[in-house]
Amino acid sequence: MIAYKSADQLAKLIKDKEISCVELLDYYISRVEKYNSDINAIIVKDYEKAKKAALKADEELSKGNTLGPLHGVPMTIKDSYDLAGTVTSRGNPALKDNVASKDALSVERLKNAGAVIFGKTNVPYNLADFQSYNEIYGTTNNPWDLTRSPGGSSGGSAAALASGMTGYETGSDIGGSIRNPAHFCGVFGHKPTWGLLPPRGHAAPNVLAQSDLTVIGPLGRSAQDLETGVLVMGGPDEIDGAGLKMDLEKPNKTSLKEYKIAAWVNEDFAPVNQETQNRVTNVAETITSNKGIVDFEAKPDFDIVESMDTYASLLHPTMASRSSEEDYQKLLDKFEELDSSDNNKSTTLDPTHDSQSAYTLKKQLSSLRDYNIANEKRTHLRWAWHEFFKEYDAIIAPIMATDAIEHDHGAFGDRTVMVDNDERPYFEQIFWAGLAIASYLPSTIIPTGLSEKGLPIGIQIIGPQYGDLKTIGLAKLLEQEGYKFQAPNTYPD
């Protein structure tokens, strides 16, 4: 089935001249026209430019030239990347007419590697939700169950891949926005080490400074696709390139028996359902059955609640700093309305209570001193992880509490998630995403098969800073053991 091949396999088909670049592009466009009305993943189409690029790629191949590892592969990109001549809305109605004048740096690099970009995929408002819907383009559905979310904020990216409407994708992650959709839709995803893939052109208009925590990164139908994306998009920009270069350590292990892994199955602070716990255990058992070592008790040496508070102390002001003047003023006004006695009540992360609203607002409106204190705490976390990874190659863990959730467009504070009959706060799930994000660590999502409801479940592999090829390398070995992409049967070739 051509539709569900990995980008690496598609590039090989083209290189072997089993299909032309133009034919492959036309094939994926035909699938978009056939299936996208159900899913609403691809919301910007750039067919004419893509066809010109595919023609050029065919011409180059006829001369014996290969542009790169993605030569002729049709792909879409998240609607947060600039693609010259198309709108970059970020799901925000205020940006519905924001036409990019040039490509993002990562888009340039993808094109230089041969990718043929033919559209953009849907996101939530300002890239800030576990679901992907907005006033401009509407709601994106999960290909496995249209009543459910494909995740967010790279929900359109994962849905397009899972339904075979694109050959490759790239998203971004500050709170699980690559990994949550990969998990919900059953594809591979990688959150790189912070700063490894320069994000210029993935930002609001005129923003050049790299945001703390935020990364861009690949999604695909194989672990190899993730490695390709890191190597193609990674490396310093023109300024840093004067003195820096990307030189990632390659995996030095060729079999699972060589690995020593920690398994973080569940946490009372942010519980996950039994099915998800079982998948982490299953992956661990696959490693041990291949004579690798798995430790179910090992964790980095830090206080879990304090680490989550540190992440929140970095995340909330970073997100708030993206606000318009009008939206930021609303935060200030709301904070003034809160009862001052309530401001100091909450030490939890429960957005359904007023005390949590105060907690969040305090973080959003924190001072530079507050932020620097949090950054110091974050640096201690990074060193704790560094020591941990001297003994363990990686840690496997959940990324979300459940499989794909049903659509819920109610107020954030009113949303909840059922975790084995226990009603939990909606944003509690960000704990699992924050483990890697707060400390700049790479994290790779692998599919583990379907739940009892017939929905995908993924787990994350977290590794040491700049150990991106190591976590992806472990994902490759696990893929060989059966942890691989499978296609929904509702969108056949």
Cis, bond preceding 89 (omega within 30 deg of 0): no
Judged by DSSP in three states, 461 sits in strand
**Rounded CA separation 74/115 (Å):** 6
Per-residue buried b or exposed e for 128-144, using 16+ beta carbons within 10 Å of the residue's own CB: bbbbbbbebbebbbbbb
Contact predicate 276/424, CB 8 Å:
no
Residue of 429, 453, 454, 436 whose CA lies nearest to 445: 436
Record the tokens describing residue 439, joined without a space: 């400390």
Alpha helices (H) along 4-153:
7-15, 21-39, 47-62, 105-112
Rounded Cα distance, 195 and 213, in Å: 9
Strands 133-134 and 138-139: antiparallel
Could you give the CA distance from residue 174 to residue 127 in angstroms, rounded to a whole number?
A: 9
Residues marked active site are found at: 78, 153, 177
Do the beta carbons of residue 217 and residue 3 sit within 8 Å?
no
